[in-house]
Structure 1
Amino acid sequence: MSLARYSDKENIFPNRPHWDEQGIWAQARNRPAICWCPKNAPPTTNLCETCQKIRIRHLILCEAEGRMVDLGKLNDIVNRPECDLCSLVTLAARQTWRGLWDEESRSSVTCYFNALDPGRQQVKGYALQVTETGSNWQWLDFDLVFKGHDSDSMPVGKVFEISPKVDIEFLKASIRACEDMHERCMLDTKLATPDRMSIIDLHTMSIRRAPEACRYLALSYVWGKITEQWLTLKRETVKLLSHKNALVQACLPQTVRDAMQLCLDLGERYLWVDSLCITQDDPITQKQQIDIMDSIYASATLTIVAAAGDHADSGLPGISKWSREIKRQTITIQDIEISNTMPRLGDTAERSVWNTRGWTYQERMFSRRCIFLTEAQAFFACSQGVSYERKRLIETGYGVEQLNPLIRSQTLQQFYFKAVQEYTVRNLTSHADILRAFQGIMNEMSRKYNQEFFFGLPNKNFEDALLWQHAGQAEKRTTSRNFPSWSWTSVNGAIKYSFMEKRIIDGSPIPAAWQDGEEPEQFHIDWLLNAGESKLLRINETPPISIRPLPPPEEVPADLVKVALQKPGRLLFRTKHAFLSIANSVPIRTADSWWADYTQNINFSVISMASILRDGSGEDPIGFIELDKIWAQQNVPQDAGKRRWEFLAISLAATNPNDYMNLHFTMRRNIDYPMIYSRNVRQLIVNVMLVEREGEVARRLGVGKIYLDCWELIGPQNTWVVVD
């Protein structure tokens, strides 16, 4: 993106930093602020009372960077169509914030108007932005041209008009440039064709087995409403669809038909579409293809992304029946020309229905190149950045790697936590697909970290992966296939790992705090190393497979092994347990802000933070646990009740030395617990799982943490437990 250049003499923004004519970032002039507004300028017509008070020209040209002006609720802006600025904001918001466009959402969103950092200035002017403070900050960009400074400034209204149809030559040129010039994109150009993969042959209009080293495109789209009349690959149609021209008169959803047409327009012969290339009623073949979904998209030359529409019959904008009608509007306020920009790929992709679906997560993750078809324009994305159809420029800040959290992760734990958290906010039509649509991500982790998985949790870091929590409203996943309560696959809703503390590995001495120049004290937690560290058995076949060092066979209770083997997915392990009280409130004596900082990422509308107590006396908590709010309101009283709940030790962890609650409770509890003062150690906690017994089997209710010294004083007992 070329930046506007101004010499010091030509700089029309003397109170701000700017790019000079040599392309050097020049600081603001060290002089008193100058007001560039014309004296006795008449008020701008066609602006509502709210927008006239903003003094846009003064905000842009004269004021310092960063001031935000309240425009009011988005719904109020929409209801002021007679105002030029409100009308422009409405148009931009309608085209960009599709997820906020129902009246209830518009009523809860507050919009602000501010001049953007001039480091992102556009041609001959600066951009403006509108932000909203709903659940997240979001941006609307506007192009700005100062007409009073340069008589050669050209209006922007006609420059980036959107054609009703996609510019095929732009897409062809982008593909050629990527394949010929981008070294990073060329590294995997000769990936092997996935095994036993079917493909659509667009020359013969039939389904066939993909040739070796096949060059093909893949389609990523939203199924949505699939009707029986639409053709899919089934056992009875496999032979029929292998005949020449079998697809010519077939009843196919419009998105699939448009993808086939786009492939032909690009000069490509083969296309992979799940509904026509996976036998839908053959469980064996279906599982085999689902298990290699990551390879299918990674081996594709590029992926066509239907980033518009909410079902398979929506079609692709600009290809056949769907003509693009995104508008660009320009208004003039005094001598400043303002127009809405076309939505960027980041805005379009992140807010699309396509980006909310569970299956599309791994599809976007493993695609090496993508063509995004949106209502505004087509985008070509690869590892080098994004090419815009109409602007003919590269946006290097957002490419396919921005869609891939795995590339940004270094360790297995980072990789896994990030993937689970991003995946579980998405929706699945069939709850039974929760692991199927995640299989490609597990395959990648298996290759990268030599990893195996058990109901979505990795064998390595298994104790860490057990400590998942609800991030929002969650409910038990309803499906004929039972998922164990200890796995996040049992929950329909967003999952997080923000409550995690750094686990201390078996046998590792725990460092105490020490003064400069002194030798650090080292000590071990004997209970953890002997019997406290969980000894877990995965029960899904005979004999059980160990994921931790196991005790001698004669020590494993035979009756519990029999119970565990009655159902796949049960865990049998030995640990420490204790029975404690829970209060659905957190008694904090001080009025400081530590508690607010500690809980700032917790959604209290759906999550309840509860105190873990030694007994029902209501004394200071020995730990904390996050619970589903509805469940907590029904089962846990505000004060500590008489019921004692069972907690299982999962792992030992060390809190961050700068953790707010660590500092708060260490200072408060030094008097009551001299052990902490005498050892002068980092605060240590035990990660625990709250369970409820149903006969001989326990069910997970939540996870929390208990301070180690308190846990030791409780006197936890050894136990064997089966968790379903």
Structure 2
Amino acid sequence: MLSNKRYFPPPRTNAACQHCQDLNLSLPTIDGILGIPLGLLQTSAASGCPYCALLIKALELPGLEPPNNEDLFGVTLFSGVDSTNAEPFPLIVRLQTEYRNFAEIELYVDADSSYRLPAIGRARNIEANGLSDQCVALMNSWMKECLSQHKMCHQPQSSMILPDRVLDVRPGKNPRLILNQSAETGDYAALSHSWGGQVALQLRQKNLEDLRRGISLQGFPMTFRHAIEVCRALAIPFLWIDSLCIIQDSATDWAVQGSKMDAVYSNCQVVIAADGAHNSEKGFLEDPWRQIPVLKLVCPRPASDGGTPKANKDEPQSKFVDVYARKKGTGNMDVFMHHSRASNYRSNLSSRGWILQESVLASRILHFTAEEITWECRSVSRCECQVNPHIFTHEMPMKYNLTRELDHKEHWAKLVQEFTCRDLTYPSDRLPAMAGIASHMHSRNPSIEFHAGLWSDSFASSLLWFCLDRGMNLHGGKRKSRRVQPESAPTWSWASVTGRIMFSPSQSTLGALKNLHVNCSPAGPNMYGRVSSATLMATVDTFRGIIIAHKDHRDAFQLQLISDDGIHRSNLIPDGEIFPDILGDSTEMCVGDEVILMDPVGHDDKYLILKPSSHGPSTYRRLGLYMTFPLRGIWPARHETITLI
């Protein structure tokens, strides 16, 4: 083990080299992790240990210079075995200075090699083109495995109804738009892509007939062209692309087709996710990042008696095995982040709000990242560079949960929290961009009702959302919350603001909203989309207060309780925290505002902060959430009927 400049050697074993343990990291005394100082590694390599020599040669991989002129102190080796079989993963070599870990190397043998080295598993070299023969064979093998073996990913053939419009991309003719007016079935893919500004080719009312007649492959933007080529390579006859299958200059068509997103992504055979393309023109099959530096090394084969070989360069080449070294990727840090060497953040595509429902609803996704192809379905996650599948257990696969009989309330809250971290070009799309997921969940729970982003069976506790503007967005930047304009959701809905949303856990699920009446009028045909008007009427306990300046923080507020007779009680300022819905230069919450606190759950310590509205008596707008100790029994409550808009 290495810790700063301290070295703790492992207990002695029968290994020929006591420093690298002949790369036998499965010994109980090592347990898959072994640290070696650079000096000992160099001495052992010079003395003839082929494995130490291999590690020294691997350090010649370009781009591994220590930061800040620090010196390399040593390496730590990591090995592991997939729980589903005994094949080792590639050996991970972590480089360390006295102060930090600064890089990781991946050592592997070729995926087609029948030979194994201790602790060095198989992996694949990444092809320069994502449609090479090797890549096409790999994608087809993933697809075949999923379709034939994964019960969780199975789709009834009766559900494979083509969308209302779809591109016919079969080879031998120009791609053309077809209208599905008789509920025809068939295999189709759906493209998930970043618009990245204006898309050169869009379906509009004036060019619908032109697209139905067909256009040449060269007439499509590069990202669309690549998606068509992928479909043809996988023998998928049809392709759905939002910008070419929804009439872009028709709000009515957008609303109608938006309400069918659940079916579009749930029924497609596979989603082609263009993670590596920042816009429709870039394409995703030949990104320069695919050509990562790989160092080819050789290592003597172990002696037939199991002993450690000597690194004799005069031996015939047949007695050596090829070993490859490359920089290790970041791996799957969460279900929406894929193997990457370029960035610690997600792709631009997976940071977009609209993309969440595409990735959650689809049974299968082929991700074309900047660096490689990755696969995910409801059963397994794979990538082009690795032979072993990735393990799902340490992730939170939200799409997997859609197929399980789990608590949909908790699942919806997690989805909203993930969604509101993402970017939307138009903030008023908060509800439309989640409509497909809402429709899918509603079909599995038809007895409940959907109210502007909240479900009826958890309505009271779901009102206890708050904005976490101190958090970072998916690109590592700060974000502020604003009220969505024009208003497309009531103030009591998380969809009424632009901030990152968190839901506060509540001990009660029954709620304290008596005589509850919720009325939501959708703004169009999509019942899960924008809302034209909404009211919440209930009889509930309330407490009166006034907003005051925080004594310690200039940009924060405190709340002072007021008695029923209107006399200010300055000595009763509860120890609590206000989470405004709007922060920054907004005047929505101001010092001196008289407000009421509404307790939607009962016997809890979280209250909605409400401000009188000009729409009528006892009518209020939400300003934020107040977290404090339970006020019931400490301060008199008023039992009243209010309307929240």
Q: Normalising by structure 2, report the TM-score.
A: 0.70
Preserved CA contact (<8 Å) 2:482 2:497: yes
Tell me the residue number matched to 1:492: 498
Higher helix share: 1
Tell me the residue number matched to 1:192: 159
Once the 2 structures are TM-superposed, how far is the Cα of residue 490 of structure 1 from its aligned partner?
A: 1.2
Q: Say if 1:195 and 1:305 are closer, same or farther in 2 by CA, change over 3 A.
A: closer
Which residue identity lines up with residue 495 of structure 2 in the other structure? T
Q: Say if 1:719 and 1:170 are closer, same or farther in 2 by CA, change over 3 A.
A: same
**Aligned partners of 1:718 and 1:619: how far apart in 2?**
21
Which residue identity lines up with residue 356 of structure 1 in the other structure? S
**Aligned partners of 1:454 and 1:432: how far apart in 2?**
16
Tell me the residue number matched to 2:598: 648
Give deviations 1:656-698, integer Å, cap 9, x for gaps. xxxxxxxxxxxxxxxxxxxxxxxxxxxx425321111133332
Which residue identity lines up with residue 633 of structure 2 in the other structure? E
Tell me the residue number matched to 2:365: 370
Show the 5 A alignment for 1:93-132.
115=76, 118-119=79-80, 126-129=91-94
Which residue identity lines up with residue 718 of structure 1 in the other structure? H
**Aligned partners of 1:294 and 1:284: how far apart in 2?**
18
Which residue identity lines up with residue 247 of structure 1 in the other structure? I
2:294 is the alignment partner of 1:328: yes
RMSD (Å) for aligned C-alpha atoms: 4.9
Tell me the residue number matched to 1:704: 626
Tell me the residue number matched to 1:576: 541
Tell me the residue number matched to 1:242: 212
Preserved CA contact (<8 Å) 1:405 1:419: no
Q: Say if 1:406 and 1:609 are closer, same or farther in 2 by CA, change over 3 A.
A: farther
Once the 2 structures are TM-superposed, how far is the Cα of residue 324 of structure 1 from its aligned partner?
A: 3.4
Q: Say if 1:177 and 1:35 are closer, same or farther in 2 by CA, change over 3 A.
A: closer
Tell me the residue number matched to 1:135: none
**Aligned partners of 2:458 and 2:440: how far apart in 1?**
16
Give deviations 1:570-615, integer Å, cap 9, x for gaps. 323322222124555599xxxxxxxxxxxxxxxx99x958466565
Tell me the residue number matched to 1:537: 517
| Partner-residue secondary structure (3-state), 2:197 | coil
Q: Say if 1:239 and 1:412 are closer, same or farther in 2 by CA, change over 3 A.
A: same
Tell me the residue number matched to 1:175: 143
Q: Say if 1:567 and 1:385 are closer, same or farther in 2 by CA, change over 3 A.
A: closer
| Partner-residue secondary structure (3-state), 1:142 | strand
Once the 2 structures are TM-superposed, how far is the Cα of residue 223 of structure 1 from its aligned partner?
A: 1.1
Tell me the residue number matched to 1:225: 197
**Aligned partners of 2:41 and 2:148: how far apart in 1?**
59
**Aligned partners of 1:193 and 1:625: how far apart in 2?**
49
Once the 2 structures are TM-superposed, how far is the Cα of residue 38 of structure 1 from its aligned partner?
A: 5.9
Tell me the residue number matched to 2:126: 162
Tell me the residue number matched to 2:390: 395
Tell me the residue number matched to 2:643: 722
**Aligned partners of 1:391 and 1:322: how far apart in 2?**
20
2:486 is the alignment partner of 1:480: yes
**Aligned partners of 2:102 and 2:644: how far apart in 1?**
46
Show the 5 A alignment for 1:502-521.
502-503=507-508, 505=510
Tell me the residue number matched to 2:328: 341
Show the 5 A alignment for 1:13-412.
26-28=27-29, 87-88=63-64, 115=76, 118-119=79-80, 126-129=91-94, 141-143=104-106, 160-166=124-130, 167-185=135-153, 187-194=154-161, 197-203=164-170, 204=173, 205-210=175-180, 212-227=184-199, 230-243=200-213, 246-248=214-216, 251-318=219-286, 324-328=290-294, 339-342=326-329, 344=331, 346-348=337-339, 351-397=346-392, 402=397, 404=399, 406-407=401-402, 410-412=406-408
Give deviations 1:131-165, integer Å, cap 9, x for gaps. 9xxxxxx996422589xxxxx96999x98543211
Once the 2 structures are TM-superposed, how far is the Cα of residue 311 of structure 1 from its aligned partner?
A: 1.5
Residue ranges of structure 2 left out of the alignment (5+ in a row): 1-11, 46-51, 110-115, 299-310, 312-322, 470-478, 523-530, 563-567
Size of the alignment, in residue pairs?
Answer: 541
Give deviations 1:434-464, integer Å, cap 9, x for gaps. 1111001111221222232121111221111
Residue ranges of structure 1 left out of the alignment (5+ in a row): 1-6, 45-56, 62-82, 91-105, 132-137, 147-151, 507-527, 543-565, 588-603, 653-683
Once the 2 structures are TM-superposed, how far is the Cα of residue 306 of structure 1 from its aligned partner?
A: 0.6
Preserved CA contact (<8 Å) 1:189 1:301: no
Preserved CA contact (<8 Å) 2:193 2:274: yes
Once the 2 structures are TM-superposed, how far is the Cα of residue 635 of structure 1 from its aligned partner?
A: 8.6
Give deviations 1:95-122, integer Å, cap 9, x for gaps. xxxxxxxxxxx99xxxx99846544699
Preserved CA contact (<8 Å) 1:608 1:627: no
**Aligned partners of 1:29 and 1:324: how far apart in 2?**
35
| Partner-residue secondary structure (3-state), 2:159 | coil
| Partner-residue secondary structure (3-state), 2:486 | coil
Tell me the residue number matched to 1:463: 460
Q: Say if 1:35 and 1:322 are closer, same or farther in 2 by CA, change over 3 A.
A: closer
Once the 2 structures are TM-superposed, how far is the Cα of residue 722 of structure 1 from its aligned partner?
A: 2.4
Preserved CA contact (<8 Å) 1:608 1:626: no
Q: Say if 1:651 and 1:382 are closer, same or farther in 2 by CA, change over 3 A.
A: closer
Give deviations 1:363-417, integer Å, cap 9, x for gaps. 0001111111122221232233233324443224389983527448821320121
Q: Normalising by structure 1, report the TM-score.
A: 0.63
Q: Say if 1:153 and 1:426 are closer, same or farther in 2 by CA, change over 3 A.
A: same
Once the 2 structures are TM-superposed, how far is the Cα of residue 40 of structure 1 from its aligned partner?
A: 11
**Aligned partners of 1:253 and 1:226: how far apart in 2?**
11
| Partner-residue secondary structure (3-state), 2:185 | coil
Tell me the residue number matched to 1:441: 437
**Aligned partners of 2:289 and 2:42: how far apart in 1?**
43
Which residue identity lines up with residue 466 of structure 2 in the other structure? Q
Which residue identity lines up with residue 157 of structure 2 in the other structure? K
Tell me the residue number matched to 2:579: 626
**Aligned partners of 2:576 and 2:89: how far apart in 1?**
59
Show the 5 A alignment for 1:527-566.
533-540=513-520
Q: Say if 1:581 and 1:328 are closer, same or farther in 2 by CA, change over 3 A.
A: farther
Preserved CA contact (<8 Å) 1:612 1:622: no
**Aligned partners of 2:188 and 2:142: how far apart in 1?**
17
| Partner-residue secondary structure (3-state), 1:651 | coil
Q: Say if 1:723 and 1:405 are closer, same or farther in 2 by CA, change over 3 A.
A: farther
Q: Say if 1:168 and 1:247 are closer, same or farther in 2 by CA, change over 3 A.
A: same
